[in-house]
């Protein structure tokens, strides 16, 4: 018998090859485990994802972000990321409503060479959002949390401890009903610190380590795999064990060299 469902699978789906899947989680001691700007704190963040290689050699990521915000209110948001051949972010979409516009969504951001274009649909024209934010350096998202955006910035950095790369980081926040979306571009500096052997997701990795210092924000340590996958991100805190916290890869499985 012919499987009628198989006949309806889009050609784009058939052309993709599954490369890897994994999960990120955030472990944080400060502020009772909360992360994020005031008024938008999230708790118990976990992100599961699958990476596919397309027939053109680019990549697509599909996954779910699960967290509580405020504490005790669960969210499960599907997301999609389009990546170039070198794993630089091209476009990100999160299938969720804006905080102050219940009928909006999804929120999509297109990463152009000198511009970050973010938009959100909605049934009512007044609730739609369309923003163009000029950017000058290699850039990514500082907020909302975006593992693939951060790793995309790092991929463009020289692995030379004597060289500091200027970067920009965008913060997309939702302050209030009168100002439902606000985007701030922060200048930052990224420096390569060398190689580091770390153990995550049941495996040992020879990672590249970087220091990221956004303007007016705490510095962060970033570890990525040789292929450019984010392994760990730790934001500096007053206590001495801060580098053991933050976002970490907690599970990983690959079907191809990645």
Q: Answer yes or no: is 10 within a domain.
A: no
Domain assignment present for residue 133? The answer is yes
Number of domains comprising the chain: 1
Residue 11 within a domain: no
| Domain presence at residue 36 | yes
**Which is it for strands 139-143 and 164-173: parallel, antiparallel or unpaired?**
parallel
| Per-residue confidence (pLDDT) for residue 5, from 0 to 100 | 42
pLDDT, residue 219, reads 94
Could you tell me if residue 6 is inside a domain? no
pLDDT at residue 250, as a whole number: 97
Q: Which domain holds residue 126?
A: 16-254
Of 216, 250, 33, 65, the closest CA to residue 142 belongs to 216
Taking the chain (258 residues) in consecutive chunks of 10 residues, what is each chunk's mean pLDDT?
A: 42 76 88 77 95 94 95 94 92 90 86 90 75 89 89 85 92 85 91 95 95 92 93 87 87 88
Structure tokens at 90: 């091209």
On whether residue 3 sits in a domain, the answer given is no
- On whether residue 33 sits in a domain, the answer given is yes
Query: Is 5 within the bounds of a domain?
Result: no
Tokens of 120: 């959100």
Q: Full-prediction pTM beyond 0.85?
A: yes
CA distances from 235 to 3, 15, 47, 178 (A): 50, 39, 18, 31
Q: How far apart are CA 72 and CA 230, in angstroms?
A: 28
């Amino acid at each position: 018998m012919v499987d009628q469902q198989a006949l309806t699978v889009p050609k784009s789906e058939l052309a993709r090859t599954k490369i890897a899947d994994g999960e990120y989680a955030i472990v944080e001691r400060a502020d009772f485990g909360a992360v994020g700007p005031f008024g938008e704190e999230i708790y118990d963040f976990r992100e599961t994802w699958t990476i596919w290689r397309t027939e053109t050699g680019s990549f697509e990521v599909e996954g779910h972000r699960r967290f509580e915000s405020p504490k005790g209110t669960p969210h499960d948001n599907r997301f999609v990321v389009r990546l170039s051949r070198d794993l630089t972010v091209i476009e990100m979409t999160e299938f969720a409503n804006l905080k102050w516009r219940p009928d909006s969504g999804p929120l999509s951001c297109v990463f152009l060479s000198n511009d970050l274009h973010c938009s959100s649909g909605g049934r009512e024209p007044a609730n739609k959002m369309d923003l163009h934010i000029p950017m000058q350096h290699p850039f990514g998202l500082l907020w909302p949390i975006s593992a693939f955006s951060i790793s995309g910035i790092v991929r463009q950095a020289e692995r030379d401890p004597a060289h500091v790369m200027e970067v920009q980081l965008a913060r997309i926040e939702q302050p209030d009903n009168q100002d439902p979306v606000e985007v701030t571009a922060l200048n930052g500096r990224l420096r390569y610190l060398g190689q580091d052997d770390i153990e995550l997701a049941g495996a040992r990795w020879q990672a590249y380590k970087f220091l990221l210092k956004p303007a007016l924000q705490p510095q962060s340590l970033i570890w990525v795999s040789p292929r450019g996958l984010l392994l760990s991100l730790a934001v500096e805190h007053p206590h001495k064990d801060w580098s053991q916290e933050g976002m970490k890869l907690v599970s990983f499985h690959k079907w191809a060299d990645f």
